[in-house]
Amino acid sequence: MVDASLYAAFLVAAFALCVTPGPDMMFIVAVGGRGGP
- Using CA atoms, how far residue 7 sits from 15, 16, 17, 26, in Å, is 12, 14, 15, 30
Tell which phi-psi region holds residue 13, choosing left (phi > 0), alpha (psi between -120 and 50) or beta.
alpha
Whole domain around residue 21: which residue ranges?
A: 4-34
Distance CA 30, CA 32 (A): 5
Of residues 10 and 2, the one with the higher pLDDT is 10
Cβ neighbours, 10 Å, residue 3: 8
Q: How many domains does the chain have?
A: 1
Query: What is the tens place of the pLDDT at every residue in 8-26?
Result: 999 998 888 877 877 787 7
pTM of the entire predicted model: 0.52
In angstroms and rounded to an integer, the radius of gyration of the C-alpha atoms of the chain is 16
